[in-house]
């Protein structure tokens, strides 16, 4: 278990439009994870097709790309122990009907085609997605001794 494990979390266009960026950030911060990169982006179709390349043969793929291309997304990288698996748990199951209450999808959506957020499903895909969405690189920082905020 790598304490510096990283995952790629993205608030999808419906989440940005509904003002849920802060909610997603709040949950990851409160859990104890560290934000190491964040930006708002209008990625365009080509980028989205690369991100979802493994789903290109699925019947819902065209609709997925149209939805993902309908507005800005908020791209983030979070760091911490077991953050890939724990992050997926915090998002909830892909289908909101299967998502437990208390998860982001369980609490905030009803439609698999508008399911608010994305999270990497393995350490390998996290590394791939972080490289895809943050080609400029990301920062590293240490949590300071908190005495200066008291």
Token pair 């508008």: residue: 114
CA distance from start to end of the chain: 32
Structure tokens at 99: 């998502």
Among 20, 21, 64, 104, binds ligand RTP (CB under 6 A): 64
> Could you tell me if 105 and 117 are in contact, meaning their C-beta atoms sit under 8 angstroms apart?
yes
If binding is defined by CB under 6 A, does position 94 make contact with ligand RTP? yes
If binding is defined by CB under 6 A, does position 107 make contact with ligand RTP? no
If binding is defined by CB under 6 A, does position 66 make contact with ligand RTP? no
Give catalytic residues, as residue numbers.
Answer: 118
Token pair 């980028």: residue: 47
Of 22-30, 33-41, 112-120, 140-148, the segment contacting ligand RTP by CB under 6 A is 112-120
Site string for ligand RTP, 20-39 (x = CB under 6 A): --------------------
Of 25-33, 96-104, 117-125, 131-139, the segment contacting ligand RTP by CB under 6 A is 117-125
Beta strands in the chain (DSSP E): 6-11, 34-41, 73-79, 117-119
Distance, CA of 85 to CA of 91 (rounded, Å): 10
Task: Tell me the closest approach of the beta carbon of residue 80 to ligand RTP, in angstroms.
Answer: 18
């Amino acid at each position: 278990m790598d304490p510096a494990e990283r995952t790629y979390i993205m608030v999808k266009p419906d989440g940005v439009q509904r003002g849920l960026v802060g909610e997603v950030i709040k949950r990851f911060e409160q859990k104890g994870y560290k934000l190491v990169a964040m930006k708002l982006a209008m990625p365009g179709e080509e980028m989205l097709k690369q991100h979802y390349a493994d789903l290109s043969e699925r019947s819902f793929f065209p609709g997925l790309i149209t939805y993902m291309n309908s507005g800005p997304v908020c791209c983030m990288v979070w760091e911490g122990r077991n953050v890939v698996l724990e992050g997926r748990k915090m998002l909830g199951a892909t289908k909101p009907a299967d998502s437990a209450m208390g998860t982001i999808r369980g609490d905030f959506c009803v439609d698999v085609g508008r399911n608010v957020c994305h999270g990497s499903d393995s350490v390998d895909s996290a590394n791939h997605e972080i490289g895809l969405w943050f080609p400029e690189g990301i920062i590293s920082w240490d949590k300071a001794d908190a005495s200066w905020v008291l």
